[in-house]
Structures are given as structure tokens and as C-alpha cells.
Structure 1
Amino acid sequence: MTTGDLVNIHPTELKFPFELKKQSSCSMQLTNKTDKVVAFKVKTTNPRKYCVRPNTGVVLPGDSCNVTVTMQAQKEAPLDMQCKDKFLVQSVVVSDGTTSKDVLAEMFHKEKGRVIEDFKLRVVYIPANPPSPVPEGSEEGNSPRISVNETGSLIDDVSRTLEETNEKSCEAWSMIYKLTEEKTSAIQQSQKLREELEMLRKESSLKQSGGHSLVLMLLVGLLGCVIGYILNRT
């Protein structure tokens, strides 16, 4: 906390969680230590990079005011995550009844008989996703110890996984055996159908051969009758 005769400012550094292409915000609190109305103004060395709300205002006696500072999304990370930007908070006693709308830049001009307090705050970047802390009791380079309960739970999980794997394997073999039997049955039925079809073809051939012989015999007999009739007439 930065302490002056007029206001206290907390924190003393503006810490922004830094992440590329994302806005980041932090806040500071100004507390009026006096029994008079105090006006304040917030400045920065890089106004295009930061947005301060409110950047001016008044704090009533014994009261506090929160100021939010938003850093615009950055396309590149600075070297070693170091930032040279700074903020300046100025405060001055004003007359009773002064409101935030009445605060003017001229109020912070240093003149004879006017006391203006200046507080400088630097900007600090912190990783948006800091690494997980090392568990207590573990040394660097060594894995953390596993308790007996955790070991038993791990064994139960492995056993359960193996049982599920065995059940799935049995189901798979049963399905393969069933499909093999169905395939064998289909092959046998196909072979039987082929044999029956071959027998039908042979029977059809025999019937056709017998029919031709009978017709031939009838023709020969008829021809013999005709020849005999002719010979008898002659």
C-alpha cells in the first residue's frame, strides 16, 4: 500500500495477467485519509495501450474509490515479460460539494499554496496460466509419493479394466465362432443345391433322349406300313 497525506493507494503495482490477443484488467483502490474532499487523476505513459475507468473523480472523506485499468489485447509478448509502462496518480484537496464532473485538468497544476500528491505505479505482467505448484514433500526431479489408498484404487481400476477386456474378448470369439458355423452351413446348403440341380439336368436329358427314340420308331413303323401298302398294290 502506498501511503500519502491525502490518500492511500492499493496495490502499489498494477499486475496484469498476460495472454496474447486477449484483454486483461486489474484494479486499484484509492482511500481518502482526510476529512476533506479529494480529487484524483490517473495518467499513463502509454495511453493508447490502456483504458482507465474512471480516470478522474473525487473521493469523499474516509471513503474509497475503485479504479479499473484495462490493457488492450497485445499481438506480441515483450522480452522476458518485462514492461516499462508506468502510471501516475495525482490527488489534491478540493472544495466541499465538488463532484466528478467538476474535476478539471487545471486543478492538478502545481501552484503556490496548492499541495498535489503524486504516486507512481509500475506495470507487472504475470502469466495467465501459471504452472502447477510442486507438491509438498517431493523433491525436484522425483515423482510425488502415492499413498496406499491411491495404490489400492489404482489396482482396482486396472483389474476392472482387465475384466472388461476379457469379457469383450469372449464376446468377440463367440461371435466369430457363430459366424464360422453359419458360413459352413451356407456352403453345405450351396453344395447340396448344386448336386440336386445336376441330378435334375441328368433326368431331363434322359427324358429328352427317350422321347426322340419313340418318335423315331413311330416314323420307321409308319414308313414300313406305307411301303408295304405300295408293294401290295403293285
Structure 2
Amino acid sequence: MGQDLVEIHPRELQFTFEVKKQSSCTVHLVNKSNEYVAFKVKTTSPKRYCVRPNTGVILPRKTCDFTVTMQALRTAPPDMQLKDKFLVQTTVVPYGTSDENLIPAFFSKETGRYIEESKLRVVLVSAPDPLEEQPVNGFHSTEPAIEVSVPKEMPNIVNEVLTIPKEVLHPLEQTPVVVTKIPSPVKEVQGLRETPVPIEETPGLREIPVPIKETPSLREVPVLQNGFVDICLFCSSVHQVTEDVQNLKSKVNNLESKLEQAEKMIIKLREESRTTTQERDKLQQEMVCFEFHLILNVFLKTKGTPRNQVGFPLLFVVYVALLGTSLGYLLRL
């Protein structure tokens, strides 16, 4: 498809720079074809700008608008220039497609679809300084005087704005008045009330809000080769990263509580093991002392027996065997 699908007005985004104040710019997209055309807006600085809506469908031969809002800047950029750019992608979609039916596959070049891309640059404009001019004798000294004729008398007109030209055409006595700007006759005449004229709104010029659906499965912000970032995907990925951080914090807290419980259990087991060891050593010492006293008593008793018995008595041998067995058991421990 060689011809352009949409016509973009304006071709550059102009923002009025004021310190700590937001600025907005509206872009008009005109569908020049007889097909349903979908559009998507991307930018190189998604944190600085907010686009509403950033996706949508333009009906055949109709117009659609989107608004770009620049966040407040604390300081003026050097030379009042920004390198930020916007990318508007447009492609033909099936007949009857609505904004809710748009999917990322419509704007994917891997499917072989024709996607028209237009780049818009950002221009900063300084805020106009309020000119405080005091008229001297009814004239402004900074602008050349322009002589116009203003009717001296005008009839009081209420709720009849369309009849003003007919009444102005009547010959009246005119007084030349010199002013700097040509005022509107309706605003100069006292007693003349302004009546808003109802303007019928074209159905194709209405801005349709597009609900932004978050994609929970996105983990990374997709960056195109030319540096543009999808604003919708960036917002959803930031939300997903926030949820992941909260989940990690909860898991870390659970692990810390489990570690504290494990440390308390280890300390308790160490104390029990130390107590058991002390009790075992105490029992071993008591057992050795008891056996020693028992053998000593047996030895003293056998010492007073007659000399006619050859060798050691049987009871002494038994006690010595028990003592050796106990000592060997203790040494193995």
C-alpha cells in the first residue's frame, strides 16, 4: 500500500515551557482511506510524557485525536531543546474492529503486515510574558494607531446574535475612534449580551477513551531498534515489577522468621547436649569411685585372712575384672 493511511496535524509537538507546570498538546489523525485504521503511539521517554489514548481505531474518512501531556520540569533544558521523539504507527485492521479488540499482533512487523510509521519531534516554546501597557490619552504608545469607525448607538440585542450584521448596516452617525486593535462590535456596545451559538459536533471528531489493559505476563520493557518504547507495556511492566518486589519482601520476611526459630532450636539442643554430657561424666566419676572403694574394702578384708591360702581370692579377681572392664569402657568413650 503506497499511499499514506493517515494525515497527522501538527507534524511536531509544541509544549509551552513553564517551571513546575504541565503542558499538553493535541494531535489530530485524519483517516484518508476507506478502511478501518488502527494507531499506536510510542515515545523515547515514557516517564516524561502521558499519552491518552495511546491506541485506537479510526473509522474510514474520519478523524481521531490524542493528547500528549508533558510532566512538569524543574529546570529549563539547555537551549530549550529536547531530543525526545514520538512514533505513530498505523495499520489497516479488519472491518468493524473496535478499540477493545486491538491486539499487539496488529502492530508486529513479523507477521508481514504493512505498518506506516511517522516520527514527531518535540519543540519547547517559552511562555509569553504578560505585557502591561498603560494607555495614554486613550492611545497605546507601543503600537501604531488604527482608525476605525465604531457605531455610536447600537440597539440592545438579546439572544439574537445572527441579526447583528443587519443592524450594523443601517446608516448611523459615526465617530472616528483611534484604537490599537479592532474590537468586536458585540463586545464594545454596552447592554449587548453574548449568547453561545450551539455548534453541532461531528461524530468522527469525538475522542473515544481507550481502556488500558494491563498484561500480567510482561517482565521486561520491549525497546524497538530505533529507541522507541511502548508506553502501555512500560506501565504494565512497572506494575509487575512492583508486585514482584513485594512478593520477594514477604518471602524474605518468612525466611528470616524461620531462621530465628532454627537458631533458637539449635541453642536449645546445644544446652540439652551439654547437660547430658555433664550428667554422664558425673555418673562415670561416681561409678569409678564406687568401684575403687569396693575393691579397697575387699582388699582390706582379704589382708587379714590366714597366709595358708595361695594366690588371690576369687572375689578379688572378680572385682579387678569388673574394674578393668569399666575403665576400658570409659576410655573408649
**Residue identity (%):** 58
Q: Using the TM superposition, give the Cα deviation of residue 97 of structure 1 relative to its aligned residue in structure 2, in angstroms.
A: 1.3
Runs of 4+ in 1 over 6 A off after TM superposition: none
Q: What CA distance in whole angstroms lies between the structure 2 residues aligned with 1:99 and 1:68?
A: 20
Pairing of 1:1-234 with structure 2 (within 5 A): 5-111=4-110, 113-130=112-129, 144=142
Report the count of equivalent residues. Answer: 136
Contact 2:90/2:115 (<8 A) preserved: yes
Output the amino acid matched with 1:29: H
Q: TM-score, normalised by structure 1?
A: 0.54
Structure whose residues are more often helix by fraction: 1
Unaligned runs of 5+ in 1: 133-142, 148-234
Report Cα offsets for 1:123-168 as digits up to 9, x if no partner.
Answer: 0000122576xxxxxxxxxx85887xxxxxxxxxxxxxxxxxxxxx
Q: What CA distance in whole angstroms lies between the structure 1 residues aligned with 2:9 and 2:144?
A: 42
Partner of 2:105: helix, strand, or coil? helix
Cα distance change, pair 112–77 in 1 and its aligned pair in 2 (3 A): same
Q: TM-score, normalised by structure 2?
A: 0.38
Higher relative contact order (CA 8 A, sep 6+): 1
Output the amino acid matched with 2:29: L
Partner of 2:74: helix, strand, or coil? coil
Q: Using the TM superposition, give the Cα deviation of residue 103 of structure 1 relative to its aligned residue in structure 2, in angstroms.
A: 1.3
Cα distance change, pair 93–130 in 1 and its aligned pair in 2 (3 A): farther
Q: What CA distance in whole angstroms lies between the structure 2 residues aligned with 1:48 and 1:8?
A: 27
Q: What CA distance in whole angstroms lies between the structure 1 residues aligned with 2:143 and 2:83?
A: 43
Contact 2:105/2:111 (<8 A) preserved: no
Unaligned runs of 5+ in 2: 132-140, 146-333
Partner of 2:61: helix, strand, or coil? coil
Contact 2:44/2:84 (<8 A) preserved: yes
Report Cα offsets for 1:93-147 as digits up to 9, x if no partner.
Answer: 0001111111122211113541100000000000122576xxxxxxxxxx85887
Q: Using the TM superposition, give the Cα deviation of residue 58 of structure 1 relative to its aligned residue in structure 2, in angstroms.
A: 0.3
Q: What CA distance in whole angstroms lies between the structure 1 residues aligned with 2:143 and 2:16?
A: 32
Q: Using the TM superposition, give the Cα deviation of residue 44 of structure 1 relative to its aligned residue in structure 2, in angstroms.
A: 0.5
Q: Using the TM superposition, give the Cα deviation of residue 82 of structure 1 relative to its aligned residue in structure 2, in angstroms.
A: 0.6
Computed over aligned residues only, the root mean square deviation of the Cα atoms, in angstroms, reads 2.3
Cα distance change, pair 81–145 in 1 and its aligned pair in 2 (3 A): closer
Cα distance change, pair 131–13 in 1 and its aligned pair in 2 (3 A): farther
